[in-house]
Structure 1
Amino acid sequence: MVRHPVDRPIDVTERSGVLGPANLPLFDAQWFTPAQSVRDVVDTYWSVEWNLPDGTDIDQQVLEFPAVTLSIESGSVPAPFMLTNVQRRAWSRTIRGTGRVFGIRLRPAGLAVLSDLDPSNVEQEHPVTAELDAALTRHLTTIAAETSPSDRAERGDRLIEDLLQKHPITESRLLANAVVDDLAESVRSRTGPALAHRLGVSERAIQRALKETLGMGPKAIARRIRLQEVVRRLSLPDADVSAIAAALDYTDQAHLIRDFKGVAGTTPGQYIRAMPSRGGAEG
């Protein structure tokens, strides 16, 4: 299998959802592209490593893509294996000391290949243990046996290729993948009848597919993806809240402010003013 060991660093200019991108230089954060054969299961692999001075704590927030993420963690972390479900608000963790995290961001169809867990019944962040899911624990243990992030990505590819032979993806779960792809391609994409027409299926089929795989409907998914784009644009120099609201089809600036504050706990203007060398924004 031929792959690129490292694709690129995680950067403020992309839709990563990292709130407070000035923190990124403090971490070694990379994306790893999955093999083509497993891309119906894995959206991306990623790795973050840090080594902070004693007494330095970073309260890091991430407005994550609407996906289930599995992670292998070591150092100053909550548990060796974690499952992060689709988040209703920005994910938050205090980063301190030294640590390493290797993440597997799954496509909507992905969890069912690795686990029997129902995303609707799993907490938003939960340690993965044999008591929770013995098979998933074994899979993560296999990947964790590799040392480097690139080797873990390759091992993940091989493991998932084998699992796909035993657990082929259903049409409903492939539809869920297609829905999220459509909504991610254009943050101004419409849901409802327009989305169903674009995909050639019923609205009910879309609702069922997303509920089965992500535990939420298309409007919530579309809202989350649009907010990720809001974070990206707010993090760039010369960000203008009213211009962002217009460009992303918010009803008005107040609508964007309510949406952003609901997940980030702060207004867009406060977020901009808190960034180094920024200030003066309204909202």
Structure 2
Amino acid sequence: MDGREGAEGPRRDTRGIVRAPELMARVRFRRRLPAAPLRRWVEHYWLIDWDLSEPYVSHVVPHPCVNLVLERRGPADLAPESGVVAGVGTGLFTTELEGTGRVCGVQFRPGGFRPFLSPPRPLTALTGRRLELAEAFGRGQDAPSRVLRPEAEDARVAALDAFLLSLSPTADPAAERAVALAHRVRTDRTVRRVEHLAADEGVSVRTLQRLFATYVGVSPKWTILRYRVHEAVERVTHRPATDWAALAAELGYSDQAHLVRDFTAAVGTTPAAYARAVRSG
């Protein structure tokens, strides 16, 4: 080990991944921490390699964050490498994995990507979009080959570090505040309404909305709802017999029907159908 994982290490949950155990049984999935100077903006790197005998369709309920995705789909000596910056996705992300492939991804913290963006733009300009590296950074077209070709995992991580550091991100107090607020939304279950969060922070709702639009790319209300759905998906993935009425109350919903509606809209299936699929998987 190179000491990156430290005391805390990267997240170990599977929040956002639909039917996560099925995916993990088919691919080699790892998370790695970035170099220390990058951690204020980057949550983790995510590395996936696969060699499948038959195709598999993966689904993800996106986090409220930007991802840098470098990938090669096919044999190393034949398939081209490519890279995109994926803004916050508001719908279910679906991709088919087949044959062999490799992905090296960067999950930025919600609010943490704008210091890398050149020229700077509100993050709403990226929401639902996939940008070529040159459009996002003004350069970086060689990053996919530099990151994806090394066989040693540590070398790929080091290449990601080198690329991000070469972009020379600078401290931005507003970005730091957006990161902290989004982290609170994710981890503090008492945060259930935007007006309460704004009052706690001593700002107006409008100020909070502008901060999230500029630095996160989605509204604080959307962020709160998305993290509720992530918690629900994670819970039923590992406990298919979840009491949905109790979970709705725990997550701050006024009734079970509202949770069912949000879950179905994000995942594309009802909680009951999802639970049946988990049991049969």
Out of 228, 232, 239, the residue aligned to residue 226 of structure 1 is: 228
Whether the aligned pair in 1 keeps the contact of 2:58 and 2:96 (CA below 8 Å) is: yes
CA RMSD, Structure 1 to Structure 2 (Å): 2.9
- TM alignment of 1:193-232, pairs within 5 A: 193-232=195-234
- TM alignment of 1:197-276, pairs within 5 A: 197-237=199-239, 238-276=241-279
CA distance in 1, matches of 2:266, 2:204: 30
CA distance in 1, matches of 2:115, 2:148: 18
Distance 1:215 1:275, change over 3 A: same
Distance 1:132 1:110, change over 3 A: closer
- Opposite residue 3 of structure 1, the aligned amino acid is R
Which moved further from structure 2: 33-42 or 61-70?
33-42
Partner residue, 2:171: 169
- Opposite residue 251 of structure 1, the aligned amino acid is S
CA distance in 1, matches of 2:90, 2:273: 21
CA distance in 1, matches of 2:173, 2:130: 28
- TM alignment of 1:55-66, pairs within 5 A: 56-66=54-64
Local SS of the residue matching 1:102: strand
After superposition, the C-alpha distances for 1:245-272 in whole angstroms (9 at most, x for unaligned) are 1221111111111001111111000001
Out of 168, 171, 192, the residue aligned to residue 194 of structure 2 is: 192
- Opposite residue 68 of structure 1, the aligned amino acid is V
- The yes-or-no answer on 1:134 pairing with 2:138 is yes
- The yes-or-no answer on 1:40 pairing with 2:40 is yes
Whether the aligned pair in 2 keeps the contact of 1:234 and 1:241 (CA below 8 Å) is: no
CA distance in 2, matches of 1:148, 1:197: 49
Distance 1:141 1:195, change over 3 A: farther
Partner residue, 1:16: 15
How far off its partner does 1:184 sit?
1.0
Distance 1:132 1:109, change over 3 A: closer
CA distance in 1, matches of 2:97, 2:11: 17
- TM alignment of 1:140-159, pairs within 5 A: 142-144=146-148, 146-159=150-163
Distance 1:136 1:223, change over 3 A: farther
Whether the aligned pair in 1 keeps the contact of 2:60 and 2:92 (CA below 8 Å) is: yes
TM-score by length of 2: 0.84
Whether the aligned pair in 2 keeps the contact of 1:16 and 1:64 (CA below 8 Å) is: no
Q: Mind listing any 5+ residue stretches in structure 1 that lack a counterpart?
A: 279-283
Local SS of the residue matching 2:105: strand
Partner residue, 1:281: none
Overall identity of the aligned pairs, in %? 27
Whether the aligned pair in 1 keeps the contact of 2:68 and 2:83 (CA below 8 Å) is: yes
Q: Mind listing any 5+ residue stretches in structure 2 that lack a counterpart?
A: none
Distance 1:130 1:147, change over 3 A: farther
CA distance in 1, matches of 2:194, 2:9: 36
Whether the aligned pair in 2 keeps the contact of 1:67 and 1:108 (CA below 8 Å) is: yes
CA distance in 2, matches of 1:276, 1:247: 23
Whether the aligned pair in 1 keeps the contact of 2:72 and 2:148 (CA below 8 Å) is: no
- Opposite residue 257 of structure 2, the aligned amino acid is A
